[in-house]
Amino acid sequence: MATRIDTLEPIPAPERPPQRRLSPREWARENLFGSWLDTVLTVVFGLVVAWLVYRLGKFVFVDARWEIIERNITNLMVSRFPRDELWRVWAALLVLGPSLGFGAGSAAAARRREAEEGRAAVVPERASALRRLGPLLLLVGVLLWFAQSFQATLLTLAVGVLGVAGYLLGRRVALSGRRTALVVLLGIAAAYVVVTGFGGVGWEDWGGFMLTILLAVGGILLAFPFGVLLALGRRSSLPVVRAVCVAYIELFRGVPLIAVLFMGAFMIGFLLPAGVERPSLVTRALIALVLFTAAYVAEIVRGGLQGVPAGQVEAAQALGLSHFRITTRIVLPQALRTVIPGLVGQFISLFKDTSLVAIIGLTELLNVSRNITAQPDFIAQGLIVETLLFAAFVYWTGAYWMSRESQRLERRLGLGER
């Protein structure tokens, strides 16, 4: 069969149909009142939605007694963390802001470079920076509104300014992906040391939203290497290694997180040899979260490993690379790149799941929200609705923001579009 050379030219993308500008009337006709069924649906749904929005709006802005949140905002954020040491938390945020900003800037620069070199798809930026950060800014705004503290506002502004500065610096410096990750990890480590080191406060005394974040971030960071090892083990050519890894993964994916947390809370003490002190409840919860999350990370990474074409490994073998180098230099970098959205998804799950540690008695965000309704000033006034709504709002903004960013990332990596 003769190959026509001109068919090898890239096929031009079909031209988009011209956008019709609809007048509001036409738009409503097309989208709301297309048929009599549509009209009925619109009217019924319109009434229901309007009623729900009215009730919610009336509750949030008129009926709700937010005083309980205002008076307990520090409690909700850090709970039992010693108040004298609160400056450490602010200092940690002042370290975290610029390093995370730097990471974001550096990643943005790398993305642009890749697009320019034609190594990545050019995805038009649909949302402005302000819209992208919307949920996060909303969260910070609401927290500051409840805090009603000049000092807190000033410090938050400082964190924001440093973050933006870090972002701009990151865009200019534009480090490689690995170094960017290193800078971010160093920032997180430094923030941790600022809080705990030099006579600071160990994590057994953390609480509130701060504990939620510690468990989520610490959980995913510690589970990641473990999960990668499990994924590699599951794809190993050694049957025994494979069997052990499969058993581990299926065991932890087959049981609910709360059972694993019970294991952490009640069982870990028995597993230690006599004379060894039982670690604090926070540590045990973290161990449970890591054991649990590692199994899920392993399955996500396995998906990425399977996506690396066999030709890559064969080519590396042909070049005479050792098995170890093939794995670390050829397979993993390609695999890990594609699993980032999956890992973000897992992080979101973990972030929401940290609420379960309330059941074993840790005072994280959800537990504080429940406990403060028992304070003498607020007891038996049915304020649980307000506090739970507040907690749900904090979780929602975080999870929604991350899931939106993860979808952007997916579009950029061209996953889910083939």
How far is 139 from 170, CA to CA, in rounded Å? Answer: 25
Helix axes 208-234, 340-353, angle to 10 degrees: 140
Rounded CA separation 5/391 (Å): 62
Cβ 331 to other proteins shortest distance, Å: 20
For other proteins, the closer CB: 3 or 19: 19
- Angstrom distance (rounded) from CA 335 to CA 305: 5
- Which residues contribute to the site for other proteins (CB under 8 A)? 31-32, 34, 38, 41-42, 45-46, 49, 237-241, 244, 250-251, 253-259, 262-263, 266-267, 269-274, 348, 352-353, 355-356, 358-359, 366, 370, 382, 384-385, 388-389, 391-392, 395-396, 399-400, 403
We find the least distance from the C-beta atom of residue 265 to other proteins, in angstroms, to be 9
When the beta carbons of 197 and 256 are compared against other proteins, the nearer one is 256
> Cα torsion for 126, 129, 130, 131, to the nearest 10°?
30
196 or 371: CB nearest other proteins: 371
User: Is the Cβ of residue 273 or residue 311 nearer to other proteins in the bound state?
Assistant: 273
CB of residue 50 to other proteins, shortest distance in Å:
10
The b-or-e profile of 312-330 (16+ CB within 10 A means b, else e) is: ebeebeeeebeeeebbeeb
Q: Name the nearest CA neighbour of 408 among 188, 100, 121.
A: 121
CB closer to other proteins, 238 vs 318: 238
Q: Please, which residue, 175 or 257, has the CB nearer to other proteins? A: 257
* Total count of residues recorded for the chain: 418
**Quick one: 56 or 315, whose CB is closer to other proteins?**
56
Nearer to other proteins, 222 or 244 (CB): 244
Nearest alpha-carbon partner for 338 in 312, 311, 315, 308:
308
d(CA 204, CA 362): 10
**Taking the CB of residue 86, how many other CB atoms lie within 10 A of it?**
14
Residue 364 phi/psi, 5° resolution?
A: -90, -170
CA atoms within a 13 Å half-sphere pointing along the CA-CB vector of 55: 6
Of residues 42 and 196, the one with the C-beta less far from other proteins = 42
- Asked if residue 94 lies in contact with residue 101, where contact means CB atoms within 8 angstroms, the answer is no
Query: How far is it, in rounded angstroms, from Cα 92 to Cα 73?
Result: 19
How many other CB atoms are found less than 10 A from the CB of residue 381? 11
CB of 276 to other proteins, least distance (A): 9
